[in-house]
């Protein structure tokens, strides 16, 4: 059989191998280009690019020896650590599909992701073993054939689990050779939508590499960068806007276990970091920390924010207190790998509150309810197309068809272009709350509240919050003859939801405002309660 070029299948396969440009190739090439440069710092561990690449190969071969191969889903439930980075690239070199799991989820939520993705392997950090073990007992979870622990805190490896650290020292350091097209699924990133169940956004190497190019070009990134990475790697922003592009470029990457302000400021000073990403909530925490003035932060040249809108006063304060730092806003979502638009430094004060203009590899429109383009100044839904756009939602044709109607990806956000082509995000078409950089589906929280016997009606929405930017807020109508207070309802939610999904504020009302069709007017509630 011959292809469109008239070549035989074996020759096509040979050519494809020569032209490979996948996620797993990026670190390999950096290791050939700058082998002795520091690639990753994790606590007392400092690995050069050659050493990190060697560790990735050993881990990939260890996984292959355990039957993990192309197309297999490998779930990773872990906080930031060295093994997380290694496993991300090791899975890619085998053509296995990585499924990073939010470590703040409850066991039932983890079980759903394991089951929906069809994961055959689960790797969990030792501190998360109770959640992982409970998830595997849930009827929704699949029967995984490989379980491993990242013994980050020195605990014993339970019976039936493997030590993932041993994989990093596997005897075979040869680079695996796997035929993997650049537009085949590489990672499944689960994102909360308007439904109670999360959706698995499938991303390919083509998605990610195109997105890295946009970040590098529009974000002025370079191989000379020294960057502190403190936000969770399971989230696409830290992993795919910053860490992976940094490794692609041959930059030096300082990995922290979490976004502790004191540790972040200390790392910037100690490593002379030039680059830092934080969502607005973390930038605010840094500015308010006493070490902000005590630490030498003069090395910072590039700062980035995203996940939610930065308060205008914070943009002004950062410009005043870190005048040498160029500030960028990255707007997007997981389905866009995730960057869609960029607000550059020269526009931060001139276009306060703007999400910027489309990234170099993205085309963006504003459309009405009939998907027709609208003129500047008119609010409509934000839609995109280009190589950043995901492959689709894993095993969900209906939701994928809805998202891709008309040949554009529909973001679910409402926005408006000004006359200069700058985007302003004005609201969410779907009931999504972004709190502290995390997505919360209002319907999921509402369904849990409805499980309480005293609740007659519930409406969940976001309200402005000085620390979290948006706070999960619930308006409750109680059943006649029933009683419940705010603490009782929060405790009810806390037993069933991840902590970031639990309402930070609950108000009791006599009735929920509704339109003529019976739809709850959440915007009216939001204005009433926030005001």
Q: Of 110-114, 268-272, 307-311, which gets the smallest average pLDDT?
A: 307-311
Instruction: Summarize the confidence of residues 408-435 as an average pLDDT.
Output: 86
On the question of pLDDT at 234 being above 50, the answer is yes
pLDDT at 430: 64
pLDDT at 418: 97
Q: What is the C-alpha to C-alpha distance for residues 288 and 273, in angstroms, rounded to an integer?
A: 20
pLDDT at 196: 52
- Name the band, by pLDDT with cuts 50, 70 and 90, for residue 17: confident
pLDDT at 429: 64
Cβ(243)–Cβ(23) below 8 Å: no
Q: Of 8-17, 465-474, 517-526, which gets the smallest average pLDDT?
A: 517-526
Report residue 395 as tokens.
Answer: 């095993």
pLDDT at 284: 87
pLDDT at 432: 74
In the chain, % of residues over pLDDT 90: 77
pLDDT at 517: 42
On the question of pLDDT at 427 being above 70, the answer is no
On the question of pLDDT at 307 being above 80, the answer is no
On the question of pLDDT at 194 being above 90, the answer is no
pLDDT at 283: 92
Cβ(477)–Cβ(456) below 8 Å: yes
Question: Are domains 205-428 and 432-530 of this chain identical in fold?
Answer: no
pLDDT at 195: 46
Q: What is the C-alpha to C-alpha distance for residues 289 and 296, in angstroms, rounded to an integer?
A: 14
pLDDT in tens, 340-393: 999 999 999 999 889 999 999 999 999 998 999 999 999 899 999 999 999 999
Q: Of 113-117, 195-199, 474-478, 522-526, which gets the smallest average pLDDT?
A: 195-199
Please state, rounded to an integer, the average pLDDT across all residues of the chain.
93
For domain 205-428, the CATH architecture is 3-Layer(aba) Sandwich (3.40)
- Name the band, by pLDDT with cuts 50, 70 and 90, for residue 428: low
- Answer CATH for 50-181 from 3.40.50.980, 3.40.50.720, 1.20.120.140, 3.30.530.20: 3.40.50.980
Report residue 400 as tokens.
Answer: 């994928």
- H/E stretch holding 30: helix 23-33
- The domain locations on the chain are 50-181, 205-428, 432-530
Provide the 10 A C-beta neighbour count for residue 529: 15
- Name the band, by pLDDT with cuts 50, 70 and 90, for residue 193: very low
What are the C-alpha distances in Å from 173 to residues 52, 54, 60? 11, 6, 9
Which residues are CB-contacts of 16 (< 8 A; sequence separation ≥ 6)?
A: 179, 181
Instruction: Summarize the confidence of residues 240-267 as an average pLDDT.
Output: 97
In the chain, % of residues over pLDDT 70: 96
Place of tokens 């040869």: 174
Instruction: Summarize the confidence of residues 287-315 as an average pLDDT.
Output: 90
Classify residue 241 as exposed, middle or buried by CB count within 10 Å of its CB (0-12, 13-18, 19+). Answer: buried
On the question of pLDDT at 512 being above 90, the answer is no
On the question of pLDDT at 201 being above 80, the answer is yes
Answer whether CATH 3.30.300.30 is correct for domain 432-530. Answer: yes
pLDDT at 285: 87
Q: Of 129-138, 260-269, 434-443, 456-465, which gets the smallest average pLDDT?
A: 434-443
pLDDT at 395: 96
Residue 465: beta bridge partners? Answer: 469
Taking the mean position of all CA atoms in its chain, how far away is CA 68? 25
């Amino acid at each position: 059989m011959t292809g469109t070029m008239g070549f035989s299948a074996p020759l096509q396969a040979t050519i494809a191998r020569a032209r490979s440009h996948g996620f797993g190739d990026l670190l390999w090439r950096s290791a050939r280009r700058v082998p002795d440069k520091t690639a990753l710092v994790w606590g007392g561990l400092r690995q050069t690019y050659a050493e990190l690449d060697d560790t990735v190969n050993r881990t990939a071969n260890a996984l292959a020896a355990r039957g993990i191969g192309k197309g297999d889903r490998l779930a990773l439930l872990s906080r930031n650590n060295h093994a997380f980075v290694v496993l991300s690239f090791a899975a890619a070199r085998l053509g296995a599909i990585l499924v990073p799991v939010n470590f703040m989820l409850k066991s039932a939520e983890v079980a759903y992701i394991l089951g929906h993705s069809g994961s055959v392997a689960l790797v969990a950090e030792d501190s998360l073993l109770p959640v992982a073990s409970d998830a595997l007992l849930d009827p929704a979870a699949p029967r995984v054939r490989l379980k491993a622990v990242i013994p980050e805190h020195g605990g014993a490896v339970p019976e039936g689990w493997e030590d993932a650290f041993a994989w990093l020292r596997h005897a075979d350091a040869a680079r695996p050779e796997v035929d993997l097209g650049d537009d085949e699924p590489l990672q499944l990133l689960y994102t909360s939508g308007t439904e109670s169940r999360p959706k698995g956004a499938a991303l390919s190497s083509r998605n990610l590499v195109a997105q890295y190019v946009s970040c590098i070009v529009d974000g002025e990134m370079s191989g000379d960068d020294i960057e502190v990475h403190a936000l969770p790697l399971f989230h696409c922003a830290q992993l795919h806007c910053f860490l992976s592009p940094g490794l692609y470029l041959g930059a030096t990457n300082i990995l922290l276990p979490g976004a502790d302000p004191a540790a972040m400021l200390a790392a910037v000073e100690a490593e002379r970091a030039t680059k830092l990403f934080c969502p607005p909530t973390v930038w605010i925490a840094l500015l308010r920390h006493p070490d902000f003035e005590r630490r030498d932060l003069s090395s910072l040249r590039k700062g980035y924010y995203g996940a939610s809108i930065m308060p205008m006063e914070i943009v002004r304060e950062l410009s005043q207190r870190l005048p040498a730092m160029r500030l960028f806003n990255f707007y997007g979502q997981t389905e866009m790998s995730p960057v869609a638009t960029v607000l550059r430094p020269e526009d931060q004060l001139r276009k306060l509150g703007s999400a910027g203009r489309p990234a170099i590899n993205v085309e963006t429109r504003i459309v009405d309810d009939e998907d027709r383009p609208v003129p500047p100044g008119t609010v409509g839904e934000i839609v995109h197309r280009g190589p950043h756009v995901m492959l689709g939602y894993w095993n969900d044709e209906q939701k994928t068809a809805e998202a891709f109607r008309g040949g554009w990806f529909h973001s679910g956000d409402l926005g408006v272009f000004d006359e200069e082509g700058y985007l302003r995000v004005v609201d969410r078409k779907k009931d999504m709350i972004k709190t502290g950089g995390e997505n919360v589906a209002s319907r999921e929280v509402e369904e849990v509240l409805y499980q309480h016997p005293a609740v007659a009606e519930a409406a969940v929405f976001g309200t402005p919050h000085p620390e979290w930017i948006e706070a999960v807020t619930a308006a409750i109508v109680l059943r006649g003859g029933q009683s419940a207070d705010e603490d009782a309802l929060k405790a009810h939610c806390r037993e069933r939801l991840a902590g970031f999904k639990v309402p930070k504020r609950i108000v009791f009302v006599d009735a929920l405002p509704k339109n003529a069709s019976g739809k709850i007017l959440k915007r009216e509630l939001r204005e009433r309660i926030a005001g």
